[in-house]
């Protein structure tokens, strides 16, 4: 199954509400960018479960979130 980002909304400075299509099912999830020596992204449990099944989707999602975050 392919994970497809349909919509995103910045809810706070480092928080994003995301809408996806995954296997013809739509769902919403959240992602957060954390500051520190190295920035990293964390996801809510539902999205984490999906991303742990496919490393390619996880890498692509991290890249997408960082691009959205840096556009400010």
Q: 43-69, pLDDT tens digit by residue? A: 999 999 989 888 888 888 999 999 988
Choose among 15, 12, 14: nearest CA to 29: 15
Whether pTM > 0.75 for this model: the answer is yes
DSSP for 22-67, please give it.
ETTEEEEEEEEEE-SSS-EEEE-HHHHHHHHH-HHHHHHHHHHHHH
The pLDDT, as a whole number, for residue 56 is: 82
């Amino acid at each position: 199954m392919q994970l497809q980002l349909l919509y995103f909304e910045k809810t706070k400075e480092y928080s994003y509400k995301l809408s996806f299509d995954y296997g013809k099912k739509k769902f919403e999830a959240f992602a957060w960018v954390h500051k520190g020596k190295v920035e990293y992204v964390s996801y809510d449990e539902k999205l984490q479960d999906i991303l742990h099944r496919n490393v390619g989707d996880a890498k692509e999602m991290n890249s997408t979130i960082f691009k959205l975050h840096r556009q400010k």
